[in-house]
Amino acid sequence: MTDPASRKADHLDLCATDDVAFKSKTTLFDDVDFIHDALPELDWNAIDLGVDLVGKRLRAPLVIAAMTGGLDRAERVNRDLAGVAEVNGLAFGFGSMRPLLQNPAAAGYRVREEAPTAVLFGNLGVVQARACSTQQVADLVGYSQVDALCVHLNPAMEVVQPGGDSDFRGGIETITRLVNELSVPVIVKETGSGLSRDVGKRLVSAGVRWVDTSGAGGTSWVGVETLRAKATKELGERFWDWGIPTAASVLQLRGLGLGVIATGGVRHGLDVAKAVALGAIAGGIARPFLQAHEKGGQAGANAFAAQTIDEIRLAMLLTGAGSVAELQHKPVILGSRLERWR
């Protein structure tokens, strides 16, 4: 099995570049247009960006999405990004907490000192969760002091990954157990390939209330593992662009009663606003935050967060939406590529 710390270091290095983007598939947010309101009757400074997420209040519908953990470099990245979430009233998500199962002292998963009030998401693969007792998972939640646990689904990535998992049975049973037995909300998320309507229905039946699309069009995690692979490189190249575009995944999940976080290739505030108008509660951005941090440290990431929030606010002003709830009901124009996914 591949050393987890080595794998996480590779992920950080690769995701700081654009080498792991989808090759031809996009998020399809470019297939969404707003109708401009030239007479919005709103005060820019009075627009309410606040949303409720997993029982907590965010000051803007934005999540600094899961990226890393489990190695010394991740300690500074996660502390800095959690600090950005704290200052701006956002949510922040850890990368996979799998390293904690093998090393209880693994770095990068304790950031409450920097983010005493920020909403924090833990993260564990469904295959790893299947092998754990509920108490073991609860111990991870308690150790990291997170407000919710993301259980991630990543079959495409795992099969291509050197030493990755290949048995994905028991996933829905595991999710049902954790929803019923954990003391914090469970968010079911994909890892770059999106969630379909059928999967959404199955999750609702399991008692899930929150999902994260992590759709296609941004970072291809199949691509990440392909760049690391040798034996499975050709297989990974073939499936590099596999998945449901993020905007399409949000559309697929509409009307199911799920709180949807839209991640996967979300680049800026206008993408977040489009995701909300399609039915999401919030949008999550990962790689651009990592790249901003690589360039300018915490100050650079904080500047990116401020810019993104301003972009969401401006989209709301220009559509006449005084609140996120109003933005969710604003009409949008969908292009033919996205319409096909309805």
Across the chain, which has 342 residues, the per-10-residue mean pLDDT values are: 52 59 94 98 98 98 87 89 98 95 91 97 97 97 97 93 92 98 98 97 98 95 87 87 96 98 97 98 96 96 98 98 97 97 92
CB–CB of 223/11 below 8 Å? no
pLDDT value, residue 115 = 97
What single-letter amino acid sits at 205? S
CA geometry: angle 66, 137, 101, nearest 5 deg? 75
pLDDT value, residue 230 = 76
Rg over alpha carbons for the chain, rounded to the nearest Å, is: 19
Q: How far from 14 is each of 124, 226, 290, CA to CA, in Å? A: 21, 11, 11
Query: How is residue 175 written in tokens?
Result: 């999710």
CB–CB of 111/92 below 8 Å? yes
For residue 36, what is the DSSP state? P
C-alpha 8/C-alpha 10 separation (Å) is 5
C-alpha 87/C-alpha 45 separation (Å) is 18
> Which of these, 207, 229, 35, 8, lies nearest to 102 by C-alpha position?
8
What single-letter amino acid sits at 228? R
We find that the CATH architecture of domain 4-339 is: Alpha-Beta Barrel (3.20)
CB–CB of 224/12 below 8 Å? no
pLDDT value, residue 339 = 97
Query: How is residue 233 written in tokens?
Result: 């490189």
Q: Which residue has the tokens 């297939």?
A: 31
pLDDT value, residue 10 = 52
pLDDT value, residue 235 = 87
For residue 183, what is the DSSP state? S
Instruction: Residue 238: count other Cβ atoms within 10 Å of its Cβ.
Output: 12
Strand-strand pairing, 91-93 and 259-262: unpaired
Strand-strand pairing, 186-189 and 32-34: unpaired
* Chain segment 69-99, per-residue pLDDT in tens: 777 888 999 999 999 999 999 999 999 999 9
pLDDT value, residue 97 = 95
Query: How is residue 168 written in tokens?
Result: 């994905």
C-alpha 183/C-alpha 275 separation (Å) is 29
Return the percent helix, strand and coil in the chain, to nearest 5: 45, 15, 40
Query: Left if phi > 0, otherwise alpha if psi is -120 to 50, otherwise beta: which for 172?
Result: alpha
Q: How far from 15 is each of 192, 202, 267, 288, CA to CA, in Å? A: 13, 31, 14, 9
C-alpha 76/C-alpha 57 separation (Å) is 26
> Which of these, 276, 260, 95, lies nearest to 194 by C-alpha position?
260
Query: How is residue 302 written in tokens?
Result: 């904080």
